[in-house]
C-alpha cells in the first residue's frame, strides 16, 4: 500500500570524525522515502527552492514526487557537527528558507494513500496533513525537542491521532517529564499514540504498546519489544539514521496484508536494518543504492545477533 510522507527535503552540511561534506541532499522526508522505497510505493509532500535539482535521486527509487512543491527562494539548509558526540548533532546553522511559509497541500492523486507518516515538522503542519487524509489506515509520526518544549499544545493534538510515535530516549523523557523510560512510555501512550517506538541509537529501539493498538484480546501485546542495532566499527555519518529507521519500519508495515504483533516486531527489525545502512556513508549515499537482497541479508544478521536459537 502506498505511503504518503510529509516532511523536509533539504540540503545538509555535515562534519563527523570520518570527514566533511559541504552540501548534500538531506531532510527527514528524503531519508524516510528512500528507506521506505525498498518496501512499497512512496509519495512525498514537501517544499523546495529554485536550487533543488535532485529529482532524479527520488525518481531512480520510483518515489512519487509530484507532491514536492517548487517555490521561489532557497531550499531548507541545515549544517551540523558530530565532532564532539557521534550520538547527538551539534547544530551550527539552520536556514528555514522556503520552509518558513510551507503550507502542505495533498494532490488529488495522493488522497487514496492508506499509510501516512508525519515526519518531524511543525505539529500544526502535521495536523493539517492528517486532516486532509481522514481515511488513512495507519498514521505514524516523529517530533523533536523544539516542538515538545515550545509547541506542546499543538503537538498533543497530533499525538492523539497517531498509531505510532517514533522518538528517541531523550525526547520521550522530555515529553513525559519522567526520567524512567517505562513510566515515560506509559504517560505518552496515555496522551494518545497507540504505540511508542523509542530509538536508542547504537543500542537499538524499544516499542511500547497500548491496548488500543491490537484491541482484539488474542492479539494483545503487554510486554514491550526490543530490537537490536548492529554494532559497527565506524559510524561515518549518523544524519538520517532515525528517519531511515522510520522509513524501514513504516515501509515494511505498509507492505504487509495485515498488521499483527509479529509483523510489528519484524518492522522494528527492518527499522534497525535501514538505520544501520544509513550511517555507513555520508548523507543519503547508502540509502540510494541498496538492494532488497542486501536488506534481507542484514535482517538475517539482526536475528542472529539477538536470537537464542
Residue ranges that bind a second copy, judged by CB under 8 A: 86, 179-183, 185-186, 200, 202-204, 206, 208, 223-228, 231-235, 262, 265-266, 269, 301, 303-309
- Written as one string, the DSSP assignment of 126-178 is HHHHHHH-TT-SEEEEE--HHHHHH-HHHHHHHHTT-SEEEEEHHHHHHHHT-
- Report the residue number, 63 or 229, with the smaller CB distance to a second copy: 229
Q: How far is the CB of 25 from a second copy (least distance, A)?
A: 27
- Report the residue number, 65 or 229, with the smaller CB distance to a second copy: 229
- Report the residue number, 114 or 169, with the smaller CB distance to a second copy: 169
- Report the residue number, 192 or 224, with the smaller CB distance to a second copy: 224
Cβ density class 32-62: b for 16+ within 10 Å, e for less: bbbbbbbbbbbbbbbbbbeebebeebbeebe
Phi, psi of 99 (to 5 degrees): -75, -20
Q: How far is the CB of 222 from a second copy (least distance, A)?
A: 10
Q: Is 37 helix (H, G, I), strand (E, B) or coil?
A: coil
- What is the distance between the alpha carbons of residues 285 and 290, in angstroms, rounded to a whole number? 9
Q: How far is the CB of 181 from a second copy (least distance, A)?
A: 6
- Report the residue number, 234 or 289, with the smaller CB distance to a second copy: 234
- Report the residue number, 69 or 178, with the smaller CB distance to a second copy: 178
Beta bridge partners of 118: 6, 141
Q: How far is the CB of 268 from a second copy (least distance, A)?
A: 9
- What is the distance between the alpha carbons of residues 5 and 46, in angstroms, rounded to a whole number? 9
Q: How far is the CB of 152 from a second copy (least distance, A)?
A: 24
- Report the residue number, 186 or 281, with the smaller CB distance to a second copy: 186
Q: How far is the CB of 108 from a second copy (least distance, A)?
A: 39
What is the SS3 string spanning 246-304? HHHHHHHHHCCCCCCHHHHHHHHHHHHHHHHHHCCCCCCHHHHCCCHHHHHHHHHHHHH
Cell of 179: 526520567
Q: How far is the CB of 278 from a second copy (least distance, A)?
A: 17
Amino acid at each position: 500500500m502506498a505511503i504518503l510522507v510529509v516532511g523536509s527535503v533539504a540540503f545538509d552540511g555535515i562534519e563527523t570524525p570520518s570527514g566533511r561534506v559541504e552540501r548534500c541532499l538531506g531532510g527527514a522526508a528524503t531519508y524516510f522515502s528512500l528507506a521506505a522505497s525498498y518496501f512499497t510505493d512512496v509519495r512525498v509532500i514537501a517544499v523546495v527552492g529554485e536550487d533543488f535539482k535532485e529529482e532524479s535521486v527520488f525518481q531512480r527509487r520510483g518515489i512519487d514526487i509530484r507532491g514536492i512543491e517548487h517555490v521561489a527562494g532557497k531550499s531548507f539548509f541545515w549544517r551540523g557537527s558530530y565532532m564532539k558526540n557521534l550520538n547527538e548533532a551539534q547544530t551550527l546553522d539552520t536556514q528555514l528558507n522556503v520552509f518558513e511559509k510551507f503550507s502542505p497541500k495533498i494532490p488529488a492523486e495522493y488522497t487514496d494513500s492508506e499509510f501516512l507518516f508525519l515526519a518531524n515538522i511543525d505539529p500544526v503542519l502535521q495536523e493539517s496533513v492528517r486532516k486532509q487524509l481522514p481515511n488513512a489506515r495507519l498514521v505514524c509520526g516523529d517530533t523533536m525537542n523544539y516542538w515538545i518544549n515550545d509547541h506542546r499544545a499543538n503537538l498533543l493534538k497530533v499525538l492523539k491521532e497517531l498509531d505510532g510515535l517514533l522518538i528517541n530516549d531523550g525526547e520521550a523523557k522530555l515529553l513525559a517529564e519522567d526520567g524512567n523510560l517505562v513510566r515515560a512510555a506509559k504517560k505518552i501512550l496515555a496522551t494518545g499514540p497507540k504505540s511508542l517506538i523509542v530509538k536508542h541509537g547504537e543500542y537499538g529501539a524499544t516499542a511500547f504498546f497500548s491496548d488500543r493498538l491490537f484491541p482484539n484480546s488474542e492479539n494483545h501485546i503487554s510486554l514491550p519489544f526490543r530490537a537490536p542495532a548492529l554494532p559497527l566499527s565506524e559510524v561515518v555519518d549518523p544524519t538520517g539514521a532515525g528517519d531511515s529507521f522510520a522509513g524501514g519500519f513504516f515501509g515494511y508495515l505498509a507492505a504487509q496484508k495485515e498488521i499483527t504483533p509479529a509483523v510489528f516486531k519484524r518492522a522494528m527489525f527492518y527499522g534497525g536494518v535501514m538505520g544501520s545502512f544509513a550511517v555507513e556513508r555520508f548523507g543519503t549515499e547508502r540509502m540510494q543504492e541498496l538492494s532488497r537482497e542486501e536488506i534481507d541479508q542484514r535482517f538475517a544478521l539482526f536475528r542472529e545477533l539477538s536470537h537464542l536459537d
